[in-house]
Chain A
Amino acid sequence: MIEEQLRETFERHETLAPPSAPLREAIDRAVVRRRRHRLTRRLTGAAAALIAAASLPFALNTTAALPEIENTMLPGAAPPVDRPLTVAVLGVDDDGGRSYRADTVLVVHVPAGSHTAYLVSLPRDLLVEIPDRGRARLGETFYFGSQRKGQAPDLPAGADLTARTITATTGVPVDATVTVRFSGLRAVTDALGGVQICLDRPVPARRGDRVYPAGCQRLDGRSMLDLLRQRRLPHGVYDRDANGRAFVRGLLSSSVSDPIQLARVVRAATDGISVAGAEVTTPQLLRVATEIDTVTAVDIGSDFRGVTIDNVEYERLDPARSTPVFVAIKENRLTDWVAANPRAVRDGT
C-alpha cells in the first residue's frame, strides 16, 4: 500500500516540473558559452593547437607576444567562414637539422559551419606524383620542396610542395598548412609539465630496455618524443600514427591555469610550429577553431597495399575506402557521408 501511495505522490508532484520552453533556450545559450569556453581551455592547453584543430596554431602565432591570451583568442568581429576549410598538418622530423621529412601527414577538414574537425591520416610512404617532378613517397615530398643546396632548409617551401602534392594525389584542395617540428613537441610537452598519453599496447623504447606499458602514463618531452618516434611496432608506422593521435588526445585534455606556465607553453608552441595559408585570414581560422568541439578520425583503411618500383617500396591506398572520402571532402559533403558511413569514423576526443 505504501507502493500505491508512492505512485500517487509522484504523480501529484508532476505539476512541480518547470516549463520546458525557457529551459530549452537556456540550454542552447549554455551550449554556445560552453563551446567558447572549451576553446579557451583548449587554447590554454596551448599545444592542443598543434594538430587537433589545426587552425589553432594560427592563434598561437598571433598571440605569442601578448600575455593576455583570453581576450585576444576569443573570436571578436571576425566574419564567419562560410565555407569548408582543409588544412594539411605535417609532422616533420629533422636529420640533425639539415634535412626534413614529413613523418606524419594529416589532412584536417572542417565542413562549413561544422563543430567537428575530421582527420584523415595519410601514410608517409604513400606513392605520389609530385607536380613537375615525378614519383616519390609522400613524406619525401617535404624534403624535395625544402632542400636548398648549401643553405638551411626552406620549411615553408617544403610545406607548400607537400600541400600541392596532396591535392594532386587526392583531389582535395588544401587551404593552409601547419608544420610541426617534432623537436617543438618536446618543448611543448615539457612546458606543460608532461602530457598524459594512453597507449593501446606496450611500446618498446628506441634505446635501452625501457618499455612504455599499455595504459595511461604521464611522460616528459624527452620520453614522449622517443615514444612518438617508435615504429618498430606490429603495424609499423600506422601504430606510430595511432600513438600520435593518442598524444593529441593527451594534449587536448591538458590545461594550464597558471599564466606564467601558459606563456611558456605558448612560446614553446610558437617555436615549434609554422603556419602558411593563402585563402584564409588568421581571425577567420580562429573563429573556425572556436567552434570545433569534436575531433574525429576518418578511417581510409590501414591495410595499405605495398608496391615496389625500382627497388623502392611504396604504399597505395585502397581506393574503395579512400576515394569516397576524398570526393566527399572535395564536394563539401563529408558530414553527410560520415552520417551515412558511421563505421568509417572514430571519435578523437
Chain B
Amino acid sequence: MTPLTYEEFADVQLGAMLRYAVMLCGDPHLAQDLVQETMVRVQLNWRKVARADAPDRYVRRMITNQYLDWRRGSWLRRVLLRAEPDEASRVSPVDHAQTTADRDQIWTWLARLPKAQRAALVLRYYEDLPDAEIAEILGCAVGTVRSSISRALATLRAEMVETCP
C-alpha cells in the first residue's frame, strides 16, 4: 500500500475542509484563513498527519483547535473577531415574513454562540458525527458535548421565541 500523499489528500479533502470551516466561522474570508493556516501546517508535518488512523479527522481536529484558539490570539485579533458578529447582526435584514430570512437569522444567531458550542453544533448537524467522535475532535468528554449542544439549542430556541412570538 502506498502511503497517502499530501497532494492526494488535498485533492479529495480541501473542498470539504473549506465548507467545514465556513460553518465554524460563518465567514468565507475567515474560513479561508483558517483552512490555509491549518493546511500549511498539515503539509509541513505531513508524515505525522498521514500516520494518523483517519487523516481527515485529524485535520478536522486541527482546524477546530485553530478556530477555538483564535479566541486566545492577540488583542487585535480578538477585537476584530468580537466585532464581526455584531456587525453581521446589524447588517442582516430582519424580516419575519420570509422563511429564508428566518433561516438566515439562525445563521446570525449562530455567530453569537460561544465558539465551542458552535463547533459542537456544526459537528453534529452539519458533519453528522456521533457524539463520541465530536468529543474526540473537541478534546472533551461526551457529556460536555451533549451539554454544550443542548445549551446552544436552548439559546437558539430562546432567540426564536423572542423574535417570532
Is the CB–CB distance between B40 and A17 below 8 Å?
no
- B10 at interface by CB-CB < 8 Å: yes
Residues of B within 8 A of A20 (CB): 14-15, 18
- Give every chain B residue within 8 A of A339 (Cβ-Cβ): 3
Q: Is the CB of B121 within 8 A of A6?
A: yes
In the complex, the answer to whether B32 meets A23 with C-beta atoms within 8 Å is: yes
Known: A17-B18, A18-B31, A30-B36. 9 other contacts (CB 8 A): A5-B106, A6-B121, A16-B22, A17-B22, A18-B18, A31-B44, A35-B44, A294-B47, A339-B3
Tell me if B137 counts as interface (CB < 8 A to partner A).
no
Contact, CB under 8 Å: B36 / A27:
yes
Task: Tell me the A1-17 residues at the B interface (CB within 8 Å).
Answer: 2-3, 5-14, 16-17
Chain A residue contacts of B51, Cβ below 8 A: 342
Report B96-112 residues with CB < 8 Å from chain A CB: 102-104, 106-107, 110
CA distance A18 to B20 in the complex (A): 11
**Closest residue of B by beta carbon distance from A12:** B103
Residues of chain A at the chain B interface (Cβ within 8 Å): 2-3, 5-14, 16-18, 20, 23-24, 26-28, 30-31, 34-35, 293-294, 339, 342, 347
B contact patch SS: helix
Which of A6, A23, A24, A27 is close to B106, meaning CB atoms less than 8 Å apart? Answer: A6
> Are the C-beta atoms of B153 and A3 separated by less than 8 Å?
yes
The answer to whether A31 touches B23 (Cβ under 8 A) is no
- CA separation between A192 and B28, bound complex, in Å? 43
A236 to chain B, nearest CB (A): 31
Contacts of A26 in B (CB 8 A): 36
The interface residues of chain A lying within 8 Å CB-to-CB of B21 are 17
| Contact A9–B107 (Cβ < 8 Å) | yes
**Contact residue among A7, A13, A16, A293 (Cβ-Cβ distance under 8 Å from B125):** A7
